[in-house]
Every structure is written in structure tokens, then in C-alpha cells.
Amino acid sequence: MNIEDCVGCALCQPVCPTFQETRLEGASARGKIAFLAAYSRGELSETDPHWGETMTLCTSCWACEEACPAGLSIKDLFLEWRENHPPTQWERHLRMLLRLATITPLGVRTLLPLFFLPLRGLKSRWKAPLPVTSIHPPKSFFFPGCFSRYAVPDAATSSYKRVLSLDSFKDVAVVPSGLCCGSALINNGLLKELPATATPFLEWLEKRNPLAVITADNTCGQTLRTLHHSLPSHLEKRWKRFAPRFQILQEIDPHFPPKEGFQSACHNEHRCDKPEATCCGFGGSFRWQHPSLSRRIGKRRLRHLGFHEGGDIRVEGPGCLAHLRRLVPPSQRARIRPWTD
């Protein structure tokens, strides 16, 4: 499948949050693919500022790929472009910060919490509970993910409690802070840096040899399960051994998904099957690159979810939870809750 296979049907537009809010053709997958096609024919320069800006109008929700009847691998196309195009100044700064904050465990522990301060507000950071007291070393671990740990600590606590409530997981310790799944690197054109985040994680896995690592952060879970595809061969085989041991809480919890007022995460198999954009507009670095558009998409989503009619909203993704809470007055934030609450 390649970009010439786009049939121009526009079925990617109703599900695209950036298109729905801006009505700009270039914000949709169809528009971006037209840009890519023009570039491949030599009709556009990759340094064209309009072209660069247009390609960033994307929350990486990948709803377009699900909707595309032509079966285009839109995610692969866009990620390849992010990896290979000359970065804009904003992207250069972002990549420098991401490198500092994610590729060493020390950076993850010290700098990531600072990044997330505007989302967390003055709430204190999540303190992982003391290690389990079993006489045996724990065989299962809970991985909260950086967003839960540093931006929405209440989500980390309620997800951990939910894991402990499952019959098959009683003796569950927490993965130490400093380990990162690397999804921010993948989404921001830094695939080559992945070995730096994967290596300390791999060393920890090899030392503890867990039977299961459970996370409620879908993005982290999906990334960790498939990370070997993006690693160089000397790490690929080592990671592949552990890939099936990553479990996503939503797949094993009988109470998922909540029935009403539910904001699902984009990167899962439980997306609401509706012909409309369901992304909350967070999109990781998208929120920082396009703050006004990100907020507009989020507010639109809250309206669709019935927030203004008085219902509570349960949110699956911790980044989405932090983002949506910042869109409502402080007195209303408690109504936007982790789905595990």
C-alpha cells in the first residue's frame, strides 16, 4: 500500500479531530497524503513552511487508519515522515527536551515531573507503595507509565488498586521510576534513540524476570508489546522474549469499559465504533505544539460526552485525563475521573 492508493473518499475526515475542528483539508489524512504525494512527485519542497505546519496538525489518534477503506498504513506513513523530514525549529527544541528527559532513568525521574507540572498543578507526585512483603520476590509488576506517575497520580493509585483487586494478581510490586516505554520518542521522530530507553528497561526485565507487567496506560502497553519491531537486531531478540508478558489492564478487567460518559484512549481495540472524532485533542506533544486547537478539540469532546449536562466523565488515558481536567474550572475537575475510580 502506498500513498497513490488513496482513493480520495474522505472517510478519514469525520473521524479526524483536527479536521472536525478546523475544517482544513490539510488537517485530515486525505490532505496530508495529498501533500506527501505531491512531495514524492517533486512538486513540493520538504522545507515548505506550509507543508511542515500542515503535517503537525495531527494528534496521532490513528482513527483515520481504522476508517480508511483502502487499507492505507497511515500511521507508518506519518511516522516515517516525522523521522525523516528536516525538523522545524519547534521540533528541534522538543526533541532536545525529549532526549534530556527520557533517554536516561535520571532524566525520567527528575525532568519529566517538571514537564508535567502544568498538568499536575500543585498536587504532590505519586509515591509508589512500599514493596510487597511476601517472602518470595514478586513475579508480577504494575507499570503506571510516566503520565500516571507524574501528571495524574490519582489515576496511578486507582489503577494499582484495581490490579490488586483482580484474583490472579495479589502480589504485585511496582516497576521502579525512571523506566520509560519510549512512545514519545516514536511519535516525535526519534526512533533512533529508542535503544537508550529500551536498554535499562531490558536490564530490569532480565534481572527480575517478571511473569507479567500490567499497565492501565494503553499507549505504554501497546508500545512495550511491539517495541522489538523498532529496535536494532541485538536488542530485538532480547526484548521479544518479554513482549508477551506485558498486559493491559483493560483487557483483563471485567468492569471495562464503563457504560456511560466514557472517554476511551485512542490506541486500543475498544474505541467507540462511532463515525465521529472521539479523540480528546491531547495527543502528547500536540497539546504543547497547538495548545489552542488542542483545547478546542477537548472542549468539543466534553460537550459530546455530556459533561455540561452534569454527568461525570470516566477517562481511560492518563494524558487525556490530565488534559481534560485542565479544560474545566477547578471546582469541576473531580467530575473527570480515571476509569478505574
Cβ of residue 307: shortest distance to ligand SF4, in angstroms? 22
Q: Decide if residue 293 touches ligand SF4 (CB under 6 A).
A: no
Buried/exposed code over 249-277 (b: 16+ C-beta within 10 A; e: otherwise): bbeebeebebeebbbbbbbbeebeeeeeb
Cβ pair 188, 81 in contact under 8 A: no
Footprint of ligand SF4 on 17-56 (CB under 6 A): 17-18, 28-30, 33
Cβ of residue 220: shortest distance to ligand SF4, in angstroms? 19
Among 58, 77, 248, 302, binds ligand SF4 (CB under 6 A): 58
**What string marks each residue from 245 to 264 as x (binds ligand SF4 by CB under 6 A) or -?**
--------------------
Q: Decide if residue 142 touches ligand SF4 (CB under 6 A).
A: no
Long-range contacts of 99-108 (CB under 8 A, 24+ apart): 99/190, 99/193, 102/180, 102/182, 102/184, 102/185, 102/193, 102/197, 103/185, 103/193, 103/196, 103/197, 104/196, 104/200, 105/177, 105/178, 105/179, 105/200, 106/178, 108/146, 108/177, 108/178, 108/179, 108/180
Integer angstrom CA distances of residue 171 from 5, 133, 174: 51, 9, 10
Footprint of ligand SF4 on 68-127 (CB under 6 A): 68, 70, 72
Q: Decide if residue 15 touches ligand SF4 (CB under 6 A).
A: yes
Nearer to ligand SF4, 228 or 299 (CB): 299
Distance CA(176)–CA(207), nearest Å, equals: 13
Q: Decide if residue 16 touches ligand SF4 (CB under 6 A).
A: yes
Q: Which stretch binds ligand SF4 (CB under 6 A): 11-19, 79-87, 230-238, 321-329?
A: 11-19
Among 1, 2, 9, 117, binds ligand SF4 (CB under 6 A): 9
Q: Decide if residue 6 touches ligand SF4 (CB under 6 A).
A: yes
Q: Which stretch binds ligand SF4 (CB under 6 A): 12-20, 90-98, 148-156, 235-243?
A: 12-20
Q: Decide if residue 64 touches ligand SF4 (CB under 6 A).
A: yes
Cβ pair 320, 280 in contact under 8 A: yes
Size of the site for ligand SF4 (CB under 6 A): 26
Q: Decide if residue 12 touches ligand SF4 (CB under 6 A).
A: yes
Q: Which of 322, 281, 288 is nearest to 304 (CA)?
A: 281
Q: Decide if residue 149 touches ligand SF4 (CB under 6 A).
A: no
Say which residues have a Cβ less than 8 Å from residue 80's Cβ, sequence separation at least 6.
none
Q: Decide if residue 10 touches ligand SF4 (CB under 6 A).
A: yes
Q: Decide if residue 7 touches ligand SF4 (CB under 6 A).
A: yes
Q: Decide if residue 67 touches ligand SF4 (CB under 6 A).
A: yes
Q: Which three cell numbers stand for residue 130?
A: 512500599
Q: Which stretch binds ligand SF4 (CB under 6 A): 60-68, 87-95, 183-191, 323-331?
A: 60-68
Question: What is the contact surface with ligand SF4 in residues (CB under 6 A)?
Answer: 6-12, 15-18, 28-30, 33, 58-64, 67-68, 70, 72
